[in-house]
A and B are shown apart, each in its own frame.
Chain A
Amino acid sequence: MDRDNLVAPQSTPTESTNGDAPLARPHRRGFSWTWLGVAPFFLFAILFLFLPSVSIFVRSFESLGGGFTLQNFADIFNKSDIRNAYAMSLKVSAITALGGAFFGFLLAYAVILGGLPRWARTFLLSFSGVASNFAGVPLAFAFVATMGNNGLVTRIIERLLNFDIHAAGFSIYNFWGLSIVYMYFQFPLMVLIMAPALDGLRREWREACENLGGTGYHYWRYVALPILLPTLLGTAILLFGNAFGAYATAYAFTGSFLNLVTIVIGAQIQGDVLYNPGLGNAMAFGMIIIMSVIMLVYARLQRLAARWVR
């Protein structure tokens, strides 16, 4: 709950008869102290978050020669490489967001409401906490050890089912392989967010529904799912953003081989053959736009969810 600023005890009569809200005229001494306390934070944000973002925005209109141009943005849509990069990134993000949301929700449901013993819940939540942070390079190598040419699962399938998945065309170094790897940190995140949301479903709602004659179907269709929907959607969107901005995992797999937006931008930084800073900035800016839209939708859904579940 926001409370008004403390009104200094020595406020002069003119201040109070003026009717100014306390915040508008804080006491002199408190004023400078307070702002000093938060200044470093905002200074840091301005210097190292806003300025770089602005720089990206500005330079995305810069042509190779140094003048103003919209060509970079046109290139994003026209150059098939780049278009494909965006398409691939969006596809991977969408698949892993939906998959992560679906499986994560089912897992969370199983341990919270599904009748499993208490330890299952504690265990799953702890492990999800760890798994959602185990990403990047080590995760990539872990999956090479699992499903790569010499991976454990590959060998087991070969021995048990006499089926060489790699000969059949499977590879972890493509879209599907990457998606499977991304899922490793996607659906723990879903579990971690959905578990408290499922907890928040009050027992009395279920009982009231039953008492009024409803079955489990009625409860989920008319009460539980509608209440959970903002959180569900919001988290799915969060997962989308999570995958879209991922870099390390994909890079560890194949260097710059996989055609993802983050990889392409990274290649620009490392100075590849087609070095075109304007284009890089435009792509970077494109990412910022997409992520901002995601954040806005997520924030909106958060507010909606908070309104109902007091």
Chain B
Amino acid sequence: MAFLEIKNVSKLFGEMAAVKDFNLDVEKGELVTFLGPSGCGKTTTLRMVAGFEEPNPGKIILDGEDITNRPPNKRDVGMVFQAYALFPNMTVAQNIGFGLKVRKTPEATIKQRTEEMLALIHLEQKGSSYPHQLSGGQQQRVALARALAIHPRVLLLDEPLSALDAKIRVSLRAEIRAIQQKLGTTAIYVTHDQEEALSISDRIVVMYDGRMEQVGTPFEIYNFPSTAFVASFVGTLNTTDAEVIDPKAHSLRLEGQQIQAAEGLGGKRAGEKVRIAIRPERFNFASEERKDNVLDCTIENITFLGSIVRVQVALGSQKFFMDTFNNPFLELPAIGSKTQITCSREAVLVLTH
């Protein structure tokens, strides 16, 4: 039995179903991310685990206990809010110690734990400062410490980095992950930023329109997306329609040219239209190396992005992006010229729905 089980959870707001049949088992010490666009139900699901919303229907079982009907202040879960939610009338130390104070922990213990937490988030000197005297990143770290001070069984983070600058986001997400791993706390992280999700999670749940689209490790989600939505939401992706030539040989017709996939055409008939996707970085110039598929195309645009060079090509009426590593000695063909690009069979993903 998993540490945290979210079973058949749905949530209705009036007529609208915000969450539809969500099922997940979370192991102890795992960091699972709910990833998706606004309105996909990820925050609602998180709030149901926290106890601020009631599932209708569904069950939430934590460490063997059914906590579905327990009020939020009796669940022993720690929550970090998007807007920090630090109590403005209390100092940093008082904020961190609040959960313990409410549990009537002795003063000495509170003091010691607070100092531990301050050291954990590297803000030892800021104990007697007030929230409005701190920067956004510092405030969020205090919010994290406050949630962790009570040794929660599960740590819930609701888009904690959305309100911060890009640079801070990158460093703080690494810090959050490091702390989570160090303490071994089970955590659920909600975000719409796929880079964030990919970089810190043990597993990702991609959500859309209240439903779970796919559950898997970052590697799985990125390289083997199972639906069109997941494929397009995570990373850049070329998608297009192709016609099946021979399902057994996994050959397809794309803009008059033949292209081979490795799998995914089982159950399809010849002549049927399917949607395929190929990651830009799986393409390369055929002049560099030849793989299973070779396609004729015309160069439309070349964008220099630093370490990556993004080449936009036209295959008949379809436009594709090809990402290749920057190479000072790379001779790029001129815009408008014809060239050949190549990719392996496995790179061609057949998308279901």
- Residues of A in contact with B (beta carbons under 8 Å apart): 202, 204-205, 207-215, 218, 222-223, 226-227, 307-310
Residues A214 and B102 in contact, CB atoms below 8 Å apart: yes
B52 at the interface (CB under 8 A from A): yes
Q: Given A212-B99, A308-B132 in contact, is the A207-B88 Cβ separation under 8 Å?
A: no
Query: How far does the alpha carbon of A223 sit from the alpha carbon of B74 in the complex, in Å?
Result: 19
Partner of A218 from the list B52, B88, B102 (CB cut-off 8 Å) is B102
Q: Which residue of A lies closest to B85 (CB)?
A: A204
Contacts of A222 in B (CB 8 A): 87, 90, 98, 101
With both chains docked as a complex, state the minimum distance between the C-beta of A54 and any C-beta of chain B, in angstroms: 40
CA distance A204 to B98 in the complex (A): 15
Q: Could you show 29 A-B contacts with beta carbons less than 8 Å apart?
A: A202-B83, A204-B81, A207-B52, A207-B81, A208-B79, A208-B85, A210-B51, A210-B72, A211-B51, A211-B79, A212-B73, A212-B98, A212-B147, A213-B73, A213-B74, A213-B99, A213-B102, A213-B150, A214-B73, A218-B102, A222-B87, A222-B90, A223-B89, A227-B88, A307-B132, A308-B89, A308-B132, A309-B88, A310-B132
Please name all residues of chain B whose beta carbon is closer than 8 Å to the beta carbon of A223 when the two chains form the complex.
87, 89-90
- For the complex, give the distance between the alpha carbons of A113 and B173 in Å: 36
- With both beta carbons as reference points, the residue of chain A lying nearest to B75 in the complex is identified as A211
**Max chain B CB contacts within 10 Å: which of A204, A208, A215?**
A208
Contacts A204-B83, A308-B132 given: A210-B89 contact, CB under 8 Å? no
- The chain A residue with its CB closest to the CB of B77 is A211
Check: B103 CB closer than 8 A to any chain A CB.
yes
Q: How many residues of B contact A (CB 8 A)?
A: 28
Shortest Cβ distance from B79 into A: residue? A211
- Taking A208-B81, A215-B73 as given, write out 11 further A-B residue pairs in contact, using a Cβ cutoff of 8 Å, ordered by the A residue number: A209-B87, A211-B51, A211-B73, A211-B78, A212-B73, A212-B78, A213-B73, A213-B102, A213-B150, A218-B102, A223-B87
Answer whether residue B271 sits at the interface, using C-beta atoms and an 8 A cutoff.
no
Q: Using Cβ atoms and an 8 Å threshold, which residues of chain B touch A309?
A: 88
Residues from chain A with Cβ under 8 Å of B150 in the complex? 212-213
State the Cβ distance, B263 to closest chain A Cβ, in Å.
46
Complex: how many Å from CA A205 to CA B99? 13
Within 8 A of A (CB), among B141-161: 146-147, 150
Say if the beta carbon of B71 comes within 8 Å of chain A.
Answer: yes
The CA-CA distance from A140 to B103 in the complex, in Å, is 54
**Contact between chains at B79 and A207 (CB < 8 Å):** yes
Chain A neighbourhood of B77, CB < 8 A: 211
> Are A212 and B85 in contact, CB atoms less than 8 angstroms apart?
no
Q: Of B74, B87, B101, B102, which contacts A205 at CB under 8 A?
A: B87
**Interface assignment of B50: CB less than 8 Å from any CB of chain A:** yes
**Complex Cα distance A205/B88, Å?**
9
Q: Which of B85, B89, B101 contacts A207 (CB 8 A)?
A: B85
The CA of A205 and the CA of B106, in the complex, are separated in Å by 24
Residues of A within 8 A of B74 (CB): 213
The 6 closest A-B pairs by CB, nearest first: A212-B99, A204-B85, A308-B88, A226-B89, A208-B85, A210-B73
Within 8 A of A (CB), among B220-245: none
Chain B residues contacting A307 (CB-CB under 8 Å) are 132
Residues of B within 8 Å of A205, CB to CB, are 85, 87
Contacts of A308 on B, CB cut-off 8 Å? 88-89, 132
Distance of A216 from chain B, by nearest CB (Å):
9
How far apart are the CA atoms of A205 and B143 in the complex, in Å? 11
**B39-72 vs A, Cβ < 8 Å mask (1 yes, 0 no):** 0000000000011100000000000000000011
Q: Which residues of A contact B132 (CB under 8 A)?
A: 307-308, 310
Q: Which residues of A contact B83 (CB under 8 A)?
A: 202, 204
Knowing A207-B79, A212-B99 touch, does A227 contact B72 (C-beta < 8 A)?
A: no
Note all chain A residues with C-beta closer than 8 A to B50: 207, 211
Write the B93-112 contact mask toward A (1 if CB under 8 angstroms, else 0).
00000110111000000000
- Find B72's partner among A202, A204, A211, A226 (CB 8 Å cutoff): A211
Max count, chain B CB within 10 A of own CB: residue among A205, A209, A213: A213
Q: Are B102 and A208 in contact (CB under 8 A)?
A: no
> Can you name the residue of chain B whose Cβ is closest to the Cβ of A227?
B89
Alpha-carbon gap, A227 to B88, bound state (A): 8
Residue of chain A at shortest CB distance from B83: A204
B188 CB, nearest partner CB in chain A, Å? 13
Complexed CA–CA distance, A307 and B99 (Å): 24
Closest beta carbon of chain A to B78's beta carbon, Å: 7
Asked whether A207 lies within 8 Å of B87 as measured between CB atoms, the reply is no
Chain B: CB-nearest residue to A215: B73
Residue of A208, A210, A213 near B103 (CB, 8 A) is A213
* Complex-state Cα separation, A226 to B94, whole angstroms: 14
Question: Which residue of chain B has its CB nearest to the CB of A228?
Answer: B89
Collect the chain A residues with CB atoms within 8 Å of residue B51's CB: 210-211
Q: List residues of chain B with CB within 8 A of the CB of A226.
A: 89
Question: A214–B98 contact, CB under 8 A?
Answer: yes
- A211 and B95 CA atoms in complex are apart in Å by 13
A213 to B150, CA, bound (A): 9
B89 to chain A, nearest CB (A): 4
For the complex, give the distance between the alpha carbons of A307 and B133 in Å.
Answer: 10
Most buried by B among A205, A212, A213, A309: A212
Nearest residue in B to A218 (C-beta to C-beta)? B102
Min C-beta distance of A227 to chain B, whole Å: 5
Q: How far is the CA of A61 from the CA of B224 in the complex (A)?
A: 92
